[in-house]
Chains A and B, each alone.
Chain A
Amino acid sequence: AQKITQTQPGMFVQEKEAVTLDCTYDTSDQSYGLFWYKQPSSGEMIFLIYQGSYDEQNATEGRYSLNFQKARKSANLVISASQLGDSAMYFCAMRETYNNAGNMLTFGGGTRLMVKP
């Protein structure tokens, strides 16, 4: 089974509107972390936001927020007030604790977001 699933290969959003990018995960760990990264065409993976499995509040970073629903094992990224510069690939990733002393990340397949002017 896929550990990280991003079901939306591509998404369009109108500039200045909000958009939600879906991410579901699969783990039997109790302690884990969830991350979102942005990858523009230049290739760099830019860290956006982090949510720990024990965090009771949803993480927020500026225009980014993470809608964390632990029971449903989902960690959707919400981008408010979309800007043209938000057009990029977005990856959801998970860091499990069990047998992962090195803190490695497992990534989903990504969602391409395109912001329309």
Chain B
Amino acid sequence: DTGVSQNPRHKITKRGQNVTFRCDPISEHNRLYWYRQTLGQGPEFLTYFQNEAQLEKSRLLSDRFSAERPKGSFSTLEIQRTEQGDSAMYLCASSLMGTLGNTIYFGEGSWLTVV
């Protein structure tokens, strides 16, 4: 029983470059979330999918950010034209509707540093 898997775990990129993160949720979890966490803060919601449909996006998700979940399994989060303010940890999480508390399980995160 594997947990939520994210890669790459760390990414250093130059300002203006594009980056893409991948998330593999827990098998059979139908909901997938992306959160962003900056140093010293709690995670903030970015977007979520139910199966392959992206159902909600936070106002934090600027038009430089795009997320996909093409087959309702893994998901990608792409950041175009990165800015220094994008430096953060990007956490993916998944849950299964109908379970106790609809508990959300997180991955280990992908650290992004924009230089």
Interface residues of A (CB under 8 A from B): 4, 33, 35, 37, 42-47, 50, 52, 91, 93, 95, 101-110
| Closest Cβ neighbor of A37 among chain B residues | B106
CB of B101 within 8 Å of the partner chain = yes
B105 interface residue per 8 A CB criterion: yes
Q: How large is the interface on B (under 10, 10 to 19, 20 to 34, 35 or more residues)?
A: 20 to 34
Question: Which among B93, B101, B108 has the greatest number of chain A C-beta atoms within 10 A?
Answer: B101
- In the bound complex, what is the Cα–Cα distance between A33 and B111 (angstroms)? 28
Smallest CB-CB separation from A106: which chain B residue? B45
B33 within 8 A of A: yes
Contact present for B44 and A107 (CB under 8 Å): yes
Please, could you name 21 A-B residue pairs with CB atoms under 8 Å apart, sorted by A? A35-B103, A35-B104, A44-B108, A47-B103, A47-B105, A50-B101, A52-B101, A93-B42, A102-B31, A102-B50, A102-B55, A102-B56, A103-B48, A104-B33, A104-B45, A104-B56, A105-B43, A105-B45, A106-B45, A109-B42, A110-B42
With a CB–CB cut-off of 8 A, which chain B residues contact A50?
Answer: 100-101, 103
Verify if B89 is at the interface (C-beta below 8 Å from A): yes
**A104 and B111 alpha carbons, distance in the complex (Å):** 22
B91 contacts chain A at the CB level, 8 A cutoff: yes
Roughly how many angstroms separate A35 CA and B93 CA in the complex, as a whole number? 14
> Which chain B residues numbered 24 to 78 have a C-beta less than 8 Å away from chain A?
31, 33, 40-45, 48, 50, 55-56
Q: Would B108 and A35 count as touching, CB distance under 8 A? A: no
Distance in angstroms from A21 CB to nearest chain B CB is 13
* Chain B residue nearest in CB terms to A101: B55
Residue pair B48, A33 in contact (C-beta under 8 Å): no
B42 touches which of A44, A101, A102, A107 (Cβ 8 Å): A107
**CA distance in complex: A35, B101 (Å):** 9
Partner of B43, one of A42, A45, A47: A45
Which residue in chain A gives the minimum CB-CB distance to B106? A45
Looking across the interface, which residue of chain B has its beta carbon closest to that of A46?
B106
Whether a CB of chain A sits under 8 angstroms from the CB of B102 is yes
Q: Which of B102, B106, B109 contacts A103 (CB 8 A)?
A: B102
Give B92 Cβ to nearest chain A Cβ, in Å.
10
